[in-house]
Structure 1
């Protein structure tokens, strides 16, 4: 399952699903733009990543993943305080228009708050809010999840600035064509802000944990857990960075605009596997 080998074993259920799609002459769905965030925190000389296991009834259910989700129409709101690279610079980095890039960045910050209770925003361009786990903040988070409150309105009401500079763009992945629900997902890394803590508040997960990347990869090799190629490859990449400073340096060099596309290959002389295009 090493990234260097260029291919990854495919779970039998996905192989069967892909065969049914091909046999039926299915038409690929249009990918929905999404954002995923690897929350990181120091641990000894290395670091840990926050992972969730999605409910079995969900799309990609039962697999270990990072927090994230689809871009919402409200993420395109422009009336918000913003720190870090502007929308044009984000657009150049992500290969999107400035408007689309801003929506992706907003979605990343919003999903981290919705799914992990972590808010990447502060009262000034160089600060971050502290603990946001009180009942008051939880009511705000719940309203956001239920779409009774938009992220831009949350920031405005609390007089907060979105810290886009806390998000490090990492990669872009597009779901294989045989999946009924497809995503064009931008991956980011972000350090857990001082004074904040993750909370198991996501209704989409039945398990959450902080874990060293190398440990979760070992569990995958031991067939104790299931992950899809984007999660596995990203874990291998951040683990190779060594420490959090290494992750930041690696992120600055990464080419994010060009998407990675896992393709299912079924060789005659071996098991089915994913190959990157």
Structure 2
């Protein structure tokens, strides 16, 4: 039986500096969703065909630069960055765009109607930016990692993870049909909530939180240079309690996993 093709997807770890260090925006997905229902994740989703349009007003590293970082083609790289900006706006109301190449909107709530149109696919990101005279700020994003769903899964994604800092004046919210709860947490607190059985963290989310916990502030995150190699865990159904391997620190993940090391819904 052939494996499902992995769909390109973008996920954004939205950060801010808090009193106890870096905080990251997380959302607990609505239970019953086809993919990762009830799981705590970062904002993100699949690339839409319209994300790859060539006429997006763009500021920052070129698609060629992103293509090199994520080991892909320029059109795919452009679509991934556009999807990262679109999904962040759709899912938490944060807009990484501005009137000029060196500014960013301070109040994204004025685009509430367009946000709904984007989510319903009545409007493309390129159309929205052109209509409002906005420039996509690719320089506000940084590439972080690349995870691919195991071959055995029926629904697969080739997900590129980005980091971005919450623009001054903007607010991340929970006004999306996909999230049952949203909150800001330090990476350590998010992992502690998982180990106590309150939240469910799949390996990619846990891994990103674990990596962010090493940084003192958002400036250090943005200044870091990441070597990005694709990570595709291997699924072994016969391995009781530890069915996934071939991802960084997989033994530590399962050792910390609540419920006796069993991976699955709780």
**TM-score, normalised with respect to structure 2:** 0.89
Note the aligned Cα RMSD (angstroms): 1.5
1:12 is aligned to: none
1:11 is aligned to: none
Contact 1:144–1:150 (CA under 8 A) maintained in structure 2: yes
Give a deviation string over 1:205-258, Cα, whole Å, max 9, x none. Answer: 1111111110010111112211100000000001112221221132xx2122x2
Give a deviation string over 1:149-199, Cα, whole Å, max 9, x none. Answer: 110011011111100010110000000122211000000000000010012
The one of 91, 111, 116 equivalent to 2:92 is: 116
2:232 is aligned to: 261
Counterpart mapping for 1:133-148 below 5 A = 133-134=109-110, 137-148=111-122
1:195 is aligned to: 169
Contact 1:229–1:262 (CA under 8 A) maintained in structure 2: no
Counterpart mapping for 1:18-167 below 5 A = 26-44=1-19, 46-58=21-33, 59-134=35-110, 137-167=111-141
For 1:254 and 1:274, locate their aligned partners in 2 and report how far apart those are by CA, in whole Å. 24
**TM-score, normalised with respect to structure 1:** 0.85
For 2:155 and 2:39, locate their aligned partners in 1 and report how far apart those are by CA, in whole Å. 16
Aligned pair count reads 246
If asked which structure has higher relative contact order (CA below 8 Å, sep 6+), I would say 1
